[in-house]
Amino acid sequence: MTSASAPLVSIRSLHKSYGPHIQVLKGLDIEMKPGERVVVIGPSGGGKSTLLRVMMGLEKIDSGSITFGGKPYISSANADAKTAINTDVRRSIGMVFQHYTLFPHLSVIQNLVLAPCKVRGEKKASATQRAQALLERFGLGGKANAFPAQLSGGQKQRVAIARALMLDPKLMLFDEVTSALDPELVAEVEQVILQLAEQNLPMMIVTHDMWFAKNIASRVIFCAGGVVVEDGPPEQVLGSPREERTRDFIDRVFHIKQ
C-alpha cells in the first residue's frame, strides 16, 4: 500500500502547548518521504525538540495528527482530549537523546539487548550476537562489558545509537545528539550517523551543527515560533534562504562559527 511516492510521515496541523500560556507548536505541517534525511534547524524554543518528542510519542499534543507509513499514529481532537498513540507504530521509530540516556545499571551489551529481548521476545543469544556486530561496526567492539560510567561522551552516544538500531527502526530521530559532547568527540558520533545515511535510513535530525546539517541533510526545515518557516534542499535553506528570518538565523549561526 506504500508506493514510492507515498509519504513515510505525514504531520498535519500539529499544536502543542505547555500549560495555558506557552504554545510551542502552532500548527506544524510536515510531510516526509521514505529515504529522506530531514534536518530541523532553528532558534531555541522554536519547537524543534518538542517536535521530535511528539513524534516519539513522549508528549501529549493539543490537536493535530501524525500518520506513519499510511497508518494513523498520533492524534488528538482538542487539548482536553487524550492523545491517541498507536504503540505498534511507535515501535518502528527509534530515538537518540542529547544526554545519551543509557541505563547506568546495565553494561553496554545489556543496554543493547534489553529491548529486543523484552519487546520482541528475541532469544538472548541472537540479540547478543547482533549487538556485538553493531558495536564492532561502531568501533566499540571492546566495550561490550563496560558500564556507561566508564565510557566517554562520544562512546556513550554511539552506544545509544546502536541501542536504538537494535530494533530495526524505520525512522530514526536524533535530538541534538552532539550538543552535550566535547568538541573533539563530535566527529566520531557524526561519522556513525553518516554511515546510517549511506544506507538510506530515514531520519529526522535536530542539530545546531551547520556543517553536519549540510553534509547529512537531503532536506532542511527551518522552524521558528512553532511553525515551519522554510523548507527545502540544504543548498537553498542553508545557502541562499528565501525567508528573511531564515537568513537572519543562518547569518548569526555562521557568524558565531567564524
Rounded least distance, CB 249 to other proteins, Å: 28
Binding flag, residue 257, other proteins (CB under 8 A): no
Q: Is the Cβ of residue 93 or residue 220 nearer to other proteins in the bound state? A: 93
Neighbours of 247 (CB within 10 A): 14
Give φ, ψ of 220 to 5 degrees: -120, 135
**Backbone Cα Rg of the chain:** 18
Q: Is the Cβ of residue 172 or residue 250 nearer to other proteins in the bound state? A: 172
Binding flag, residue 181, other proteins (CB under 8 A): no
Rounded least distance, CB 142 to other proteins, Å: 20
**Torsion from C-alpha of 6, 87, 121, 115, nearest 10 degrees:** 100
- Segment interacting with other proteins (CB under 8 A) among 14-22, 91-99, 201-209, 231-239: 91-99
How many residues in the shown chain lie near other proteins by CB under 8 A?
A: 27
Using the rule CB under 8 A, which residue among 46, 94, 226, 241 binds other proteins?
94
Yes or no: say if 213 and 41 are a contact pair by the CB < 8 Å rule.
yes
Question: Would you call 88 helix, strand, or coil by DSSP?
Answer: helix
Q: Is the Cβ of residue 91 or residue 208 nearer to other proteins in the bound state? A: 91
Binding flag, residue 119, other proteins (CB under 8 A): yes
Binding flag, residue 103, other proteins (CB under 8 A): yes
Beta strands in the chain (DSSP E): 9-18, 22-32, 37-41, 63-68, 71-76, 84-85, 93-96, 171-175, 203-206, 219-224, 227-232
* Sign of the C-alpha dihedral computed for residues 215, 217, 218 and 221 taken in this order: negative
**Torsion from C-alpha of 192, 196, 199, 202, nearest 10 degrees:** -160
Q: Is the Cβ of residue 17 or residue 92 nearer to other proteins in the bound state? A: 92
Using the rule CB under 8 A, which residue among 26, 60, 114, 187 binds other proteins?
114
Binding flag, residue 167, other proteins (CB under 8 A): yes
Using the rule CB under 8 A, which residue among 44, 87, 199, 258 binds other proteins?
87
Q: Find, among 30, 7, 49, 34, the residue nearest to 205 by Cα.
A: 49
Binding flag, residue 58, other proteins (CB under 8 A): yes
Residues that bind other proteins (CB under 8 A): 53, 56-58, 87, 90-91, 93-95, 97, 99, 101-106, 114-115, 118-119, 147, 149, 163-164, 167
